[in-house]
């Protein structure tokens, strides 16, 4: 952690006093520490305590300087935003996008990873609203350091106690490692469906939305990679930091990938590319008649196979959306397409499509296997990148 920038957000709970000890540990580890305290936090611990520990000014207000914009500067300068303790009120505001003080403005303005350490009474922690807000933040990629069970300020015993200091240090260190483990990598990602036109109003396509590819791009950017994203038709917005090429058909996607592949060090092909396209595209809408209609098809380029045949040092990860014999079919594709690894999921009944939860298994080599489990596509993006980084390190 030596030399890394951490913003420690302290909110108004009794556990705020423990954040001072955490600040000391971070500074001893070589962290450059910025501390932001909410108005309620100041009622528990004075800002002089944190200023003395960090040897830097403590930030408490959006209006502390009229010649600067503190929430933008602090949002951009730090490698991770760690909110310790995170009260139920702050968690709710972060989940809903409410920005009514310096800390919540920073959280909205940053692209740095967010880490939250909830601390509150058991009943508040278990409330449906709090659970929903934590699930929302987790799905967006926030790291949640689960609270412990023990003696609470209300002289009760239960869940809601701030996580131990060692657990907090380990979690912050883990997030910091991820923020630069793709530094120097140039990542190429394909995402979304393709559309193969029959006429001006009809096309062949599938139910893919591009969500998983967009989350992989977002996670790669957070880890320090340069990202090229080749994106098929989708209403979803790509991450701002990616160099995005919008395409519609498989041929357009193939051309865009060929133009970008020579720069890439890692490629992940998540796009659901149509295998076939109409042999003839009609200039005008085809009118309905009583006669039977036949649609002649021709093969589209195999984008993944083309990448596999011309890797030149590229680390290539494919995706296999299967409805049966998942791992058998995926391993066959792994070999045929010359991938270094392949992620497989079950899309029977349209599972795996859209913005909901997904489940992935990563396969490589003859018998390499890593179950990435079930989770939001944001969570699975982080797990997949963890696995890819480990595979690359192992050679």
Tell me the pLDDT band of 71, cut-offs 50, 70 and 90. confident
Q: Average of pLDDT values for 284-304?
A: 88
What's the average model confidence in pLDDT over 31-48?
96
For 246-271, write each residue's pLDDT tens digit: 999 999 999 999 999 999 999 999 99
Query: pLDDT at residue 67 above 90?
Result: no
Tell me: pLDDT of 165 over 60.
Answer: yes
Architecture category of domain 5-179 in CATH: 3-Layer(aba) Sandwich (3.40)
Is 121 a catalytic site residue?
A: no
Q: Is the predicted pLDDT of residue 153 greater than 80, yes or no?
A: no
Separation between Cα atoms, residue 132 and residue 119, nearest integer Å? 16
Kindly name the residue from 89, 121, 180, 206 that is annotated as catalytic: 206
Q: In Å, how far from its chain's centre is CA 5?
A: 20
Region 156-182 average pLDDT:
87
Highest mean pLDDT among 193-197, 221-225, 326-330: 193-197
Q: Who contacts 18 (Cβ-Cβ below 8 Å, separation ≥6)?
A: 84, 85, 162, 165
Average pLDDT, the chain: 90
Over residues 324-375, the pLDDT tens digits come to: 888 899 999 999 999 999 999 877 655 556 556 788 999 999 999 999 998 8
Alpha-carbon distance values, 106 to 77, 85, 89, 94, 289 (Å): 11, 16, 16, 10, 60
Domain boundaries, the chain: 5-179, 186-394
Identify which of 63, 118, 53 has the alpha carbon closest to the alpha carbon of residue 85.
Answer: 118
Task: Give, for 77, the enclosing helix (H) or strand (E).
Answer: helix 70-77
Strand residue runs (E) in 73-152: 80-86, 114-118, 143-144, 148-151
pLDDT at 77 over 90: no
What band does 15 get if pLDDT is binned at 50, 70 and 90?
Answer: very high
Give the DSSP letter of residue 41. Answer: G
5-179 and 186-394 agree in CATH topology: yes
- Class of the CATH-defined domain 186-394: alpha beta
């Amino acid at each position: 952690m030596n030399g890394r920038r951490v913003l420690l957000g302290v909110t108004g709970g009794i556990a705020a006093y423990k954040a001072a000890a955490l600040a000391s540990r971070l500074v001893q580890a070589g962290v450059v520490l910025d501390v932001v305290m909410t108005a309620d936090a100041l009622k528990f611990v004075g800002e002089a305590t944190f200023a003395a520990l960090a040897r830097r000014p403590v930030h408490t207000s959006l209006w502390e300087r009229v010649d600067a914009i503190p929430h933008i500067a602090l949002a951009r300068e730090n490698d991770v935003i760690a909110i310790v303790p995170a009260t139920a009120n702050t968690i709710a505001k972060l989940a809903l996008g409410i920005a009514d003080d310096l800390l919540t403005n920073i959280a909205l303005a940053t692209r740095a990873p967010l880490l939250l350490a909830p601390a509150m009474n058991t009943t508040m922690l278990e409330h449906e609203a709090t659970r929903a807000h934590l699930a929302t933040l987790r799905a967006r990629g926030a790291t949640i350091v689960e609270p412990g069970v023990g003696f609470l300020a209300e002289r009760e015993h239960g869940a809601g106690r701030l996580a131990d200091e060692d657990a907090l240090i380990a979690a912050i260190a883990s997030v910091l490692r991820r923020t630069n483990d793709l530094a120097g990598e140039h990542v190429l990602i394909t995402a979304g469906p393709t559309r193969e036109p029959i006429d001006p109003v009809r096309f062949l396509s599938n139910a893919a939305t591009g969500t998983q590819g967009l989350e992989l791009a977002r996670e790669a950017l957070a880890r320090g990679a340069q990202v090229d994203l080749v994106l098929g038709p989708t209403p979803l917005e790509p991450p701002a930091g990616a160099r995005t090429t919008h395409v519609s058909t498989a041929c357009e996607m193939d051309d865009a990938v060929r133009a970008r592949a020579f720069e890439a060090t890692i490629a992940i092909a998540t796009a659901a590319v149509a295998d076939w396209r109409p042999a003839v595209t009609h200039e005008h809408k085809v009118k309905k008649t009583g006669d039977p209609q036949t649609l002649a098809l021709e093969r589209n380029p195999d984008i993944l196979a083309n990448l596999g045949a011309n890797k030149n040092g590229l680390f290539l990860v494919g995706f296999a959306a299967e409805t049966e014999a998942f791992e058998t079919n995926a391993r066959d594709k792994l070999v045929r397409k010359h991938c270094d690894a392949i992620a497989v999921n079950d899309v029977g009944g349209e599972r795996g499509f859209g913005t909901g939860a997904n489940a992935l298994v990563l396969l490589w080599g003859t018998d390499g296997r890593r179950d990435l489990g079930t989770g939001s596509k944001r969570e699975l993006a982080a797990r997949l990148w963890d696995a890819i980084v480990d595979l690359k390190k192992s050679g």
